[in-house]
Amino acid sequence: MSKADLHIHTTASDGRSTPRQILENADKHNLEIISITDHDTIRGYQKAAKIADEYDVRLLPGVEITSDFNGRECHLLAYCFDPNHPKIKQLIAQHYKSRLARAKWIVNELSKQGLEVDIEEVKAEANGSNIGRPHIAAVLIDKGYVASFKEAFIRYLSDQSLGTIYNQYYSHHEVIAAVKEAGGAIVVAHPGNLYSDEELNELVTAGIDGIEFIHPSHDYSRQKQVEEFADDHTLLKTGGSDFHGGDKEYQKFFGVVTINTKYVHRLLRMTDQRKAINV
Ligand code: AMP
Ligand code: ZN
Ligand code: FE
Ligand code: FE
């Protein structure tokens, strides 16, 4: 089977591997097609695109966009859009600002609980990457407030412990429109048990093109359910490892949680048609 991985993070967001390391490892694991899907940034993809021809791997444009879905954060994966389209540039600029403002909000929430974290420490931890909660978690570990990422999320950083997280992300409607205008495909990431079928139907009505059915958080029965949902609604099916590098727990998924390239070819046919119509 020829394999693809359409969900990978790098040091451009909260992943631990550089874009080059991802390409090297993808080549080693005989992945035919990959997409680098950092949180709200395409810098990792752009770096990889410059050097991709040194490796026997096909690289597709990708990004994991955080959208505001009725006041909740909803991760949407975008593929094969024009990275230079003004709508994509606008969205990414807005989400960069939103991530910084959101990190400041989270730091302020932590201070109410007696945890002293300075936004400058979080920025230093992110070191130019798009800021996310894992960077805040790393500062909490450094300062001895928690012993592990897991503890940081369980006690302080999960959606449940923070309540409604302040954000200025585009709504799911705006994200879907921008990606389609840029000729891309837009896919609901790791539905897992995050959404009811009603909510998934709402996303379908809003115009999503596909749904991620293969993901490390999906057991076989959830995978089958999502697959059935996709087939019932004529949606594209995608998948990948959601690789973030780092500890052994996650390392094991790279090259293992993959999809058959036939699913990617369907996606490519769709985005080729969309680009032809958009012109
Ligand atoms: P953010 O982009 O700020 O919303 O942070 C989300 C990211 O945090 C996810 O993509 C994961 O990389 C990480 N994350 C979320 N939940 C956990 C958790 N329970 N333990 C460790 N990392 C997590
Ligand atoms: Zn992440
Ligand atoms: Fe995600
Ligand atoms: Fe992800």
Could you tell me whether strands 31-36 and 3-8 are parallel, antiparallel, or unpaired per DSSP bridges?
Answer: parallel
253 lines ligand 1 (CB under 6 A): no
For the chain, counts of helices (H) and of strands (E): 12, 9
**Closest ligand 1 atom to Cα of 40:** 2
**Closest ligand 1 atom to Cα of 165:** 4
pTM of the model: 0.96
Interatomic CA distance for residues 148 and 167, integer angstroms: 25
In the block, which residue shows the tokens 């040091």?
11
The answer to whether the beta carbons of residues 179 and 83 sit under 8 Å apart is no
55 lines ligand 1 (CB under 6 A): no
* Host H or E run for residue 176: helix 172-181
**Closest ligand 1 atom to Cα of 102:** 3
150 lines ligand 1 (CB under 6 A): yes
Distances (CA, A) of 133 to 169, 199, 248: 15, 25, 20
Task: Find the mean pLDDT for residues 72-91.
Answer: 98
- Supply the mean pLDDT for the chain: 96
Query: Residue 237 C-alpha to ligand 1 middle, in angstroms?
Result: 23
The answer to whether the beta carbons of residues 13 and 130 sit under 8 Å apart is yes
CB atoms within 10 A of CB 259: 22
Q: Is the pLDDT of residue 113 over 80?
A: yes
149 lines ligand 1 (CB under 6 A): yes
The answer to whether the beta carbons of residues 29 and 54 sit under 8 Å apart is no
Task: Find the mean pLDDT for residues 91-115.
Answer: 97
Query: Residue 257 C-alpha to ligand 4 middle, in angstroms?
Result: 13
Instruction: State the pLDDT confidence band at 203, using cuts at 50, 70 and 90.
Output: very high
DSSP state of 107: H
pLDDT at 279: 76
Question: 8 forms bridges with which residues in the sheet?
Answer: 36, 243
Tell me what percent of the residues of the chain surpass a pLDDT of 70: 98
190 lines ligand 1 (CB under 6 A): no
Task: Kindly report, residue by residue over 17-53, the tens digit of the pLDDT.
Answer: 999 999 999 999 999 999 999 999 999 999 999 999 9
DSSP state of 165: P
Interatomic CA distance for residues 168 and 138, integer angstroms: 24
**Closest ligand 1 atom to Cα of 154:** 19
Q: Is the pLDDT of residue 248 over 80?
A: no
The strands making up 58-60's β-sheet, listed across from edge to edge, are: 58-60, 31-36, 3-8, 259-260
Q: What is the sign of the dihedral through the CA atoms of 161, 162, 164 and 167?
A: negative
Interatomic CA distance for residues 261 and 3, integer angstroms: 5
Nearest alpha carbon, ligand 1 atom 2: 132
